[in-house]
Structure 1
Amino acid sequence: MTQEPFDPTEDAHRDRREHGGAPSLHPDDDALARRTEEERVEAGVDDYDPDEVPPATDDPVPTDLTQTEDYAEEQAEIKRETEESELYPLTEKHPFPPSHYDRD
């Protein structure tokens, strides 16, 4: 008894748009791009494969700058200068900002 390579009773439908012979193999574009990049690195055309670079390890930049330590320090400095009359709003009496700051 010969053994069939597949079950002939299996319900297999072919795509009728394809050739009647073996199904056409569609190349995987992503795999091709990976292999091409690997070959470019091996040949010395590219210095490195961008897909193999690890992610950055720096802390993410805050999107709300009012929550940073620098902002809090600057707010404290503005408050101190205002309380000591070093910084004041521009008015008719004081049309210009101070020309010097006392930093003793």
Structure 2
Amino acid sequence: MSLFKTAARTAVASSVHGRIQRRQHERWAAADQARVAAPPAQAPVPAPPAPAPAAPAAAPLDTDELLNQLERLGKLRDSGVLTDAEFAAQKARLLG
């Protein structure tokens, strides 16, 4: 009779194990379906970058530096690198 008890225990254990596996498989399948059916989570929109700080006012050039830059602009105009309009605009920028 012990052989029958062992066979019965094995059958019960196998049946229980099969049910547990089936339930777990159903749970995993339901979780997968829910994940697929759910709309994708949207990433948070990053905050816009902070505006760049205003450029500090250019320090006034000393007279020698101003003359050097004006001479350089004149040479660039004379060599054809700058047009008369570009020269006038840069000169006005330097003289402020």
Structures share a fold, TM > 0.5?
no
TM superposition score category, shorter chain reference: under 0.3
> Which protein has the bigger helix share?
2
Taking structure 1 as the reference length, the TM-score comes to 0.22
- Higher RCO, 1 or 2 (CA under 8 Å, sep at least 6)? 2
Q: Which has the larger radius of gyration?
A: 2
Taking structure 2 as the reference length, the TM-score comes to 0.24
